[in-house]
């Protein structure tokens, strides 16, 4: 993203990735799109034009993900990531999107990993087939 992509463009890409996963639905949290599987959240998109909320100050355009405990140390070492204000104490990290080129293959892998943390085994098994 040398020049930052518009929120709508980024959200459409995120939405397409999320909806490729079984039983994903879109909802909203504090006027931000969130994606969940069977009511368990796994991704939230914070757009650069998102409404002001104290918790989200300074997040800018970012993708907030439920992370695999085995990946958290590596994510904390990467300057593109920060502990999400959305349950960071429960393993949520955020990826800054507006500051550099977005690697969509990496984003898709992060989203799938987040989905696997939230989805029941039966749906994870569907992915593995």
**Per-residue pLDDT tens over the stretch 29-67:** 888 999 999 999 999 999 988 878 877 888 899 999 999
**What is the percent of the chain with per-residue pLDDT over 90, rounded to a whole number?**
74
126 domain residue, yes or no: no
Any idea what the CATH number is for the domain that residue 103 is in? 3.90.1150.30
Task: Count other Cβ atoms within 10 Å, centred on residue 4.
Answer: 16
Nearest to 55 by CA among 80, 36, 29, 26: 29
What share of the chain has pLDDT > 70, as a percent?
95
pLDDT bin (cut points 50, 70, 90) of residue 114 is very high
Is residue 72 within 8 A of residue 91, CB to CB? The reply is yes
C-alpha distance from residue 71 to each of 8, 57, 61, 77, 107 (Å):
28, 25, 22, 10, 14
Segment 62-89 shows an average pLDDT of: 94
14 found inside a domain? yes
Q: Total structural domains in the chain?
A: 1
Domain ranges, residue 12:
7-120
Kindly tell me if the per-residue pLDDT of 3 is higher than 70.
no
Residue-level pLDDT at 75: 96
């Amino acid at each position: 993203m040398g020049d930052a992509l518009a929120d709508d463009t980024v959200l459409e890409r995120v939405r397409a990735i999320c909806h490729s996963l079984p039983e994903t639905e879109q909802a909203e949290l504090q006027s931000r799109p969130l994606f969940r599987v069977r009511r368990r959240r796994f991704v939230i998109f914070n757009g650069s034009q998102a409404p002001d909320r104290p918790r989200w100050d300074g997040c800018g355009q970012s993708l907030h993900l439920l992370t695999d405990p085995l990946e958290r140390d590596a994510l904390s070492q990467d300057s593109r990531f920060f502990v999400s204000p959305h349950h960071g104490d429960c393993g949520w990290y955020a990826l800054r999107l507006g500051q550099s080129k977005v690697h969509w293959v990496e984003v898709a892998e992060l989203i799938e990993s987040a989905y696997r943390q939230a989805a029941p085994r039966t749906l994870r098994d569907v992915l593995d087939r």
